[in-house]
């Protein structure tokens, strides 16, 4: 049973809003006084046709504000603040006319009541199911939206045995309490130490990465779906699997929480993987996806032309106020790199996500880059402390269709370890 949580409001509090037709929506497209807002599931905005509309993605030019973001389980004080800031960023303001659209008006009403509490009154409803000519509207989707999958797709793929699903998190099976308490049925646990061994937690050798894939039953021709309670770990492994040559690697958008919100069952206990003898290649097949320190230095030399080294760390890490890691002492930044923002700490990435840990609106990510001096049309090499945050951002850039980007996997950890490498500190 799907779990739809409504804000605690009475019917008398509902925003008095007018239903609007397709013809009216067509007339106000590109009108700066109107803001079109997609209130559906984030995956539908990205490109998935979960409502069998026969069109993919969102109305061209629309922003997003999913009714799911108002699930009371996600509305802690920090997320409330983020949501309020995002409303303004999306140009949803009291002096604008706001069109909320969905296939279910009741879900749009959840968003409408939230906006009313912020003083936004000029609200209109557009129902895709009640306007048969909705296909006359221009729709757009992310080029590679299919690599970031909704829980419904994962469930279908498992039922039809079309994919292998793995839970990814740090720690061996004895320490994987969340996994043992409940995981997607049939999904083995992957300890991230298997791809970045301690004590330095830098990426393992090419040979060992391929042996790891074989030990987990992963071949280059498999369809692999990764998820976890901490979604960042999934993206870390996803980039590594793509690097060694797995052709079809996908991540569950929103991680374990997304599966649970659909009401799908969980399985307890440990699932052991079935190893295979041959990955299908003895060398990585996508070598350009992950670069080493020498290649990162070449990016720095060329960063005024086609390439940029982008720092996906917190601001305090960037200016040298903190290292971000208990096992990393040196502080500062790589001279010549450009800050790409991240979150408030070394383990968060809220500036690239919605509050339910799904991928943030691509237009907002691109605008953030532009404001930081990052040209999204150049080849971007992302780095962070040890590769987790940067891998997630790289994956999002691939969802957006921005090919040619890469990961400096060992990042600040490797750079700062060599005292001969230059370091900058302080406010830029």
Biggest CA-to-CA distance, the chain = 68
How does the average pLDDT of the chain come out, rounded? 94
| Domain 288-417 belongs in CATH node 3.40.250.10 | yes
Q: 73 pLDDT exceeds 90?
A: no
Q: Which residues contact 171 (CB under 8 A, 6 or more apart)?
A: 191, 193
Each residue of 203-261: pLDDT tens digit?
A: 999 999 999 999 999 999 999 999 999 999 999 999 999 999 999 999 999 999 999 99
Domain boundaries, the chain: 11-141, 146-285, 288-417
Helix (H) or strand (E) holding 237: helix 231-244
- Would you tell me the crossing angle of helices 231-244 and 388-399 to the nearest 10 degrees? 70
Helix (H) or strand (E) holding 250: strand 248-252
| Domain 146-285 belongs in CATH node 3.30.360.10 | no
Helix, strand counts (H, E) of the chain: 14, 17
The single residue of 100, 244, 384, 393 carrying the catalytic annotation is 384
User: In whole angstroms, what is the distance from residue 366 CA to residue 89 CA?
Assistant: 13
CATH number of this structure's domain 11-141: 3.40.250.10
Q: Give residue 303's pLDDT band: very low, low, confident or very high (50, 70, 90).
A: low
CA 55 from centroid of its chain's CA atoms: 23
Looking at the DSSP assignment, which residues form a beta bridge with residue 16?
none
Q: 15 pLDDT exceeds 80?
A: no
Structure confidence at residue 17 (pLDDT): 67
Q: Is the peptide bond before 199 cis (omega within 30 degrees of 0)?
A: yes
Structure confidence at residue 8 (pLDDT): 31
Looking at the DSSP assignment, which residues form a beta bridge with residue 307?
379
**Total residue count of the chain as it appears in this document:** 428
User: Is 18 among the residues known to form the active site?
Assistant: no
Could you tell me the sign of the dihedral formed by the alpha carbons of 103, 109, 112, 114, in that order? negative
């Amino acid at each position: 049973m799907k779990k739809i949580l409504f804000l605690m409001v009475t019917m008398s509090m509902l925003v008095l809003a007018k239903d609007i037709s397709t013809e009216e929506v067509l007339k106000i497209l590109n009108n700066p006084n109107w803001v079109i807002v997609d209130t559906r599931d984030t995956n539908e905005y990205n490109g998935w046709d979960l409502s069998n509309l026969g069109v993919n993605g969102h109305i061209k030019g629309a922003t997003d504000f999913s009714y799911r973001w108002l699930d009371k389980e996600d509305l802690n004080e920090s997320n409330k603040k983020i949501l309020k800031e995002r409303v303004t960023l999306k140009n949803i303001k009291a002096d604008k006319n706001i069109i909320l659209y969905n296939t279910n008006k009741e879900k749009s009403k959840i968003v409408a009541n939230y906006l009313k509490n912020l003083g936004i009154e000029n609200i209109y409803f557009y129902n895709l199911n009640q306007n048969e000519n909705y296909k006359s509207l221009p729709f757009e989707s992310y080029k590679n939206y299919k690599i970031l999958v909704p829980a419904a797709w994962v469930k279908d793929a498992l039922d039809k045995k079309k994919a292998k699903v793995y839970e990814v998190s740090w720690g061996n099976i004895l320490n994987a309490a969340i996994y043992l308490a409940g995981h997607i049925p049939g999904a083995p646990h992957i300890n991230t130490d298997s791809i970045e061994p301690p004590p330095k937690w830098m990426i393992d050798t090419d040979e060992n990465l391929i042996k790891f894939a074989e030990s987990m039953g992963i071949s280059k021709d498999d369809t692999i779906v990764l998820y976890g309670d901490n979604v960042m770990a999934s993206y870390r492994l996803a980039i590594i699997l793509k690097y060694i040559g797995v052709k079809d690697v996908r991540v569950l958008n929103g991680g374990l929480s997304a599966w649970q919100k659909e009401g799908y069952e969980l399985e307890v206990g440990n699932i052991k993987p079935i190893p295979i003898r041959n990955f299908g290649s003895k060398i990585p097949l996508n070598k350009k996806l992950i670069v080493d320190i020498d290649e990162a230095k070449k990016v720095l030399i060329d960063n005024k032309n086609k390439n940029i080294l982008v720092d996906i760390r917190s601001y305090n890490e960037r200016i040298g106020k903190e290292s971000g890691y208990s096992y990393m002492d040196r502080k500062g930044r790589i001279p010549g790199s450009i800050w790409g923002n991240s979150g408030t700490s070394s383990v968060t990435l809220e500036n690239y996500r919605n509050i339910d840990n799904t991928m943030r609106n691509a237009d907002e990510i691109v605008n953030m880059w532009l404001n930081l001096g990052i040209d999204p049309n150049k080849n971007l090499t992302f780095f962070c402390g040890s590769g987790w945050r940067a891998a997630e951002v790289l994956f999002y850039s691939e969802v957006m269709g921005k090919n040619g980007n890469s990961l400096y996997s060992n990042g600040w950890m490797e750079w700062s370890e060599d005292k001969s490498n230059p370091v900058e500190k302080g406010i830029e």
